[in-house]
Homo-oligomer: A and B are copies of this chain.
């Protein structure tokens, strides 16, 4: 094995993260760059331009995912993929996604500048629609690679304005060819901000991520008796809002009865018609539950649904529950997790191993190739908000570790 090494350019990396954050920038310092919007197109164009300047060849697949290839010594060998996503949630942060894509680009740029050409090609990846906010479900582009969804299903997803994923790919000029998907992949690595408070609380800049909690998303529809708020004695009501509220509280209490990192969250709750002086006819709410084992996820999810049905029955409200996304827990490749830990150790960087609590494209990639993630400490644990922040030093340390791991894997026979 060669003993090559490269030092990444931390200043350039951080400057690019800031430049990318200008696209879709919000007044409070965050980013709104929903997938396949004009902002996403501009982010893709900028990434494409940087890749071109770095001498990389960019392909786009049928899901709109970009792959920027740094050719290896043996082009026939399956490449190492490194990346993340450039789309954001509404009023999201500047690091969730872009930090991983731009660190991967920095790694490859640093290798090239130092004349290091590993045995295997390295491809920097920008996955389409990681967030799944505009087009649900999330992470559909990697899911298609893993055979979990058909391209036709994904292309026909509609946003709330009725526009489809496929139409929007065409509109922004990013519908590529199925032939541009990666074939066999040697490994997939993804650097990402932690998005939680664990590393900050532990005083650690990075973590080697061993896996991802399983995530189940439900949509709960409650139908009660729409009625004027005044002349409806309390004892006669079938109030969908009260039922929904009790479900929100019950889900929280249920999750609290489990150890971390088990969580349950209601982020969306929509009463219809939603006016001040009427008991709503219908309330639709989302429920997001997460657990690190398949059995645990099934258990908490079943218990939450059972409680919701019991509450609905008590309130005299009809209930329908649909599972809209169901991602089993992910167990990453042990060898790559160890490699991240070893690279951190070799640099004297304190670290830990942990289970991620948010979905990432790495979960689907793990189904088709050895995969692992590297987490960067997040200020205050805040993410999916405009005040999302990291320390620049943490990003640079993480980039060095990623670079070391990528180089090792790309040199493998």
Contact = CB atoms under 8 A, between A and B. Distances in A.
Contacts of A226: 91, 382, 384-385
Contacts of A235: 256, 260
A246 B266 CA distance: 13
Interface in A225-262: 225-236, 239, 241-242, 244-246, 248-249, 252, 255-256, 260-262
A209 B377 CA distance: 65
Contacts of A271: 267-269
A123 B154 CA distance: 62
A interface, size bucket: 35 or more
Contacts of A278: 89, 265, 267, 384-385
B242 A248 contact: yes
Nearest to A360: B230
A196 B382 contact: no
Given A226-B385, A228-B195, A276 B280 contact: no
Tell me how many chains of this kind the complex includes. Answer: 2
Nearest to A93: B228
Contacts of A274: 267-270
A133 interface: yes
Nearest to A386: B226
A193 B173 CA distance: 58
Contact of A198 (B231, B256, B261, B276): B231
Contacts of A249: 242, 245-246, 249
Interface in A269-294: 269-271, 273-281, 286, 288, 290
A215 B230 contact: yes
Interface of A is mostly: loop
A227 B382 contact: yes
Interface stretch (A5-13, A68-76, A79-87, A351-359): A351-359
Given A242-B249, A280-B267, A89 B234 contact: no
A136 interface: yes
B261 A268 contact: no
A90 interface: yes
B277 A265 contact: yes
Q: Of A195, A226, A228, A384, which is in contact with the most chain B CB atoms at under 10 Å from its CB?
A: A228
Contacts of A246: 245, 249
A225 B196 CA distance: 12
A196 B133 CA distance: 41
Given A233-B260, A234-B255, A236-B197, A286 B281 contact: no
A405 interface: no
A213 interface: yes
Interface of A: 89-91, 96, 132-133, 136, 138, 194-198, 213, 215, 217, 225-236, 239, 241-242, 244-246, 248-249, 252, 255-256, 260-271, 273-281, 286, 288, 290, 356-359, 381-385
18 contacts: A89-B277, A90-B273, A90-B275, A195-B231, A196-B230, A196-B231, A197-B232, A198-B233, A217-B277, A226-B384, A230-B356, A230-B358, A244-B245, A245-B248, A265-B279, A267-B271, A268-B275, A277-B359
Given A234-B264, A244-B248, 7 more contacts: A90-B275, A91-B226, A133-B276, A227-B383, A228-B358, A265-B279, A268-B276
